[in-house]
Amino acid sequence: MTTQFDHWIDGRKVRPEGGEHFPTFDPTRAVPWAELAKGNVADIDRAVESATRAQRAWRRTSPAQRNRLLSAMADLIDREAGRLAELESRDVGKVLRETRSQMRALPTWYRYYASLAFQQDGRVIPHDRASIVNLTTREPYGVIGIIAPFNSPVLLTSMSLAPAIAAGNAVVVKPAETASTSVIRLAELFAEAGLPDGVFNVVTGLGAEAGAALVAHPGIAKVFFTGGVETGRRVAAEAGLHGKPTVLELGGKSANIVLPDAADLRSVANGIVAGIYAAAGQTCVAGSRLLVHSSIADELVDLVAARTEKIILGDPADDRTEMGPLAEPNIVDNVERRVDEAITAGARVRVGGSRLDAPGWFYRPTILTDVVNDMAVAREELFGPVLAVIRFHDDDEAVAIANDSPFGLAAGLWTTNIGRAHRMAAALEAGTVWVNTYRALSYASPFGGRKASGYGRENGLDGFAEVTVTKSLWIETSEESIDDPFILR
Ligand code: NAD
């Protein structure tokens, strides 16, 4: 028996205009578990109309009103964190322990941006002519379109949704076709919190249909896209044709670099394992390349391998499970193909390297040693549980290998030498560098990529700046008459 979900438009559930639903699968059992509304151009039109209407009033609400509402939304997420976590686990196969901890962190995004609603201030800019008053204000864009990926749908949606709403925008979200149910539940919760109808709308459906219609819609002022590189570039090109700005949060092939002076290698090994196998490798910041100094490589790889072999695969709802299935069967196929190719090219399997013989879409946590940086397993984002180990001999070589990548999302450094950490962090082409930790994320710290990993920033003040646009206001205070119309003052 599957559960049916509809769109969320104008503060209520709305059946799809085309009358169709499509199945979404439980990856643990490889069976359909829910049906989502198949959104089309007409559904997007309806959602954007509702958002446009709502935004006219929403942008005029006081900072105090927006602050109160976002705080109420945070309280309801707190209350419903368990249910949201269950929906997400079911949709994407992430272990419940992991989705629960993510949902517990989520309300703070809303509380943080609730506080920034009070700080949407501008500047007074001195002008050569003393009688001129020039000031800037930060205004909401209008209606913002958010296109979300399947991994962490509620958190990743919230990273642009919370600031967008706090700044006075309305939003239409198109979540991933494999992971929409938690985002729909979020919309229901926000309605319960008192968010006015139409400020937040969710249209589910296929990327090429509902997603493309959202990007092309003239009522959408800016698009926040999180997903794969190829899709992101297509979205940015389409948005560009319509003259719209975009923020692109794309993939990565992040290097986790371990220097010979790293502290306790057992603890480093745990950091490496958490960096790659969380969410079965399906995180954009997965530390999928382990760059290790040759002098400690054998010892560290032994430690990482010993922990990896113990990873408990299984049902994400079981509290003992450490890694669930992959979200889609085509990801398993791609991981399998790329691992086999790497083996043919000379890489060696230290751990894993195969599917699990189970009904769901499981692939064993895998370590490949003897990887060369030009192999596909070192260059392409697999979005699966595969760690590619590469040795280096000095700091410059480590930085060169890390930067020899199309991507520039994140990197990790493990060292006890603070000067070395600063020098290497400065040389790494990555939006985020972690030293002696990995995958730390905060509502207050800017997050985003370079190179093929995208552009623009989410979270923190940078994320707030992305949802507003500057207006420069000029006032001539002198009462002198304008004598010469051709002389600019
Ligand atoms: P995807 O690119 O397949 O899909 C992302 C979204 O785009 C989905 O909602 C999809 O329906 C939509 N879409 C597809 N075609 C479209 C089109 N033509 N027009 C408009 N929308 C369209 O990505 P995915 O498989 O869902 O997610 C995995 C990817 O997301 C990975 O590459 C991962 O690294 C990336 N990601 C990046 C970040 C980050 O913040 N940098 C975070 C999480 C995930």
- Tell how far the Cα of 134 is from the centroid of ligand 1, in angstroms: 41
Nearest-CA residue for atom 19 of ligand 1: 212
Q: Specify the residue with its C-alpha closest to ligand 1, atom 16.
A: 207
pLDDT digits (tens, 9 = 90+) for 350-383: 999 999 999 999 999 999 999 999 999 999 999 9
Average pLDDT over residues 82-101: 97
Residue 256 reports pLDDT greater than 90: yes
Ligand 1 pocket, residue 149 CB under 6 Å: yes
- Could you list the beta-strand ranges (E) of 66-197: 124-125, 132-140, 143-147, 170-174
Instruction: Verify whether ligand 1 is closer than 6 Å to residue 86 (CB atom).
Output: no
CB distance 448 to ligand 1 below 6 Å: no
DSSP 3-state of 340: helix
228 lines ligand 1 (CB under 6 A): yes
Q: What is the pLDDT of residue 191?
A: 98
Nearest CA to ligand 1 atom 43: 284
Pairing of β 246-249 and β 454-455: antiparallel
State which of 284, 441, 442 you would mutate to test the pocket of ligand 1, scoring each by most atoms of that ligand within 8 A of its C-beta: 284
Q: In this structure, which residue's CA is closest to atom 23 in ligand 1? A: 227
Question: Which of 38, 41, 147, 330 to mutate for ligand 1's pocket (most ligand atoms within 8 Å of CB)?
Answer: 147
Q: Residue 485 pLDDT more than 90?
A: no
In 347-441, which residue ranges form alpha helices assigned H by DSSP?
A: 376-379, 395-403, 418-427
* 487 pLDDT more than 90: no
Decide if pLDDT at 488 tops 90: no
Contact 258, 435 (CB under 8 A): no
444 forms beta bridges with none
The mean per-residue pLDDT over the stretch 432-438 comes to 98
Ligand 1 proximity of 251 Cβ (cutoff 6 Å): yes
- Return d(Cα 275, Cα 308) in angstroms, integer: 12
pLDDT at position 174 is 98
Angle at 216 between CA 213 and CA 220, to 5 degrees: 100
- pLDDT tens digit sequence for 108-127: 999 999 999 999 999 999 99
pLDDT tens readout for residues 39-78: 999 999 999 999 999 999 999 999 999 999 999 999 999 9
**For ligand 1, is residue 254 a contact (CB within 6 Å)?**
no
pLDDT at 489: 63
Q: How many CB atoms sit inside 10 A of residue 309's CB?
A: 13
Which residues are tagged catalytic?
A: 249, 284
* Average of per-residue pLDDT across 133-141: 97
What is the 395 CA–ligand 1 centroid distance (Å)? 34
